[in-house]
Amino acid sequence: MADHPRIHVCPVETCLEMLSGKWKPRILWKIYQNEVMRFNELQRSISGGITAKMLTQQLRSLERDGLITRVVYPVVPPKVEYRLSEFGRTLIPVLDSIAAWGTENNQQIVEFLQA
């Protein structure tokens, strides 16, 4: 099992392998907040200006890792919705903790970022 390049001896490293990057936590947070989101809704809601190509890559990665589900409806124009999978919902306490930490420490974070 540990021979796989994305699986590490340290469980924190393995977890970060799935959640790392600038966009994945933001995408997961937005989907969690809204329960279900369509592609354009996600792109508009994420601050920092994620490109369509990057959002597509990140959504595919999150889907491949089992954290989100993608539902395609057979209509024209195509309708695709994203939501947290059952496995992805296990991240809710983590996302809530990150949000609480950010809220509690916002002033210090702002000061560090502006330094």
Number of domains in the chain: 1
Output the CA–CA distances (angstroms, integers) from residue 65 to 10, 35, 87, 108, in the order listed: 18, 18, 9, 33
| Any domain includes 2 | no
Q: How far apart are CA 95 and CA 109, in angstroms?
A: 17
Q: Which domain holds residue 81?
A: 11-114
Which CATH number fits the domain that encloses residue 39?
A: 1.10.10.10
| Any domain includes 93 | yes
55 CB contacts (<8 Å, ≥6 apart)? Answer: 23, 27, 39, 42, 43, 46
3-state helix, strand, coil in the chain (%, to 5): 55, 10, 30
- Tens of pLDDT, residue by residue over 10-65, are 888 888 888 988 999 999 999 999 999 999 999 999 988 899 999 999 999 999 99
How large a percentage of the chain has pLDDT more than 70?
93
| Any domain includes 29 | yes
Q: Is the pLDDT of residue 71 over 80?
A: yes
Q: How far apart are CA 28 and CA 19, in angstroms?
A: 9
Query: What's the confidence (pLDDT) of residue 14?
Result: 83
Q: Which residues pair with 93 in a beta bridge?
A: none
| Any domain includes 3 | no
| Any domain includes 75 | yes
Q: What is the pTM of this model?
A: 0.87
- Across the range 109-113, mean pLDDT stands at 92
| Any domain includes 40 | yes
| Any domain includes 66 | yes
| Any domain includes 54 | yes
Query: What's the confidence (pLDDT) of residue 2?
Result: 53
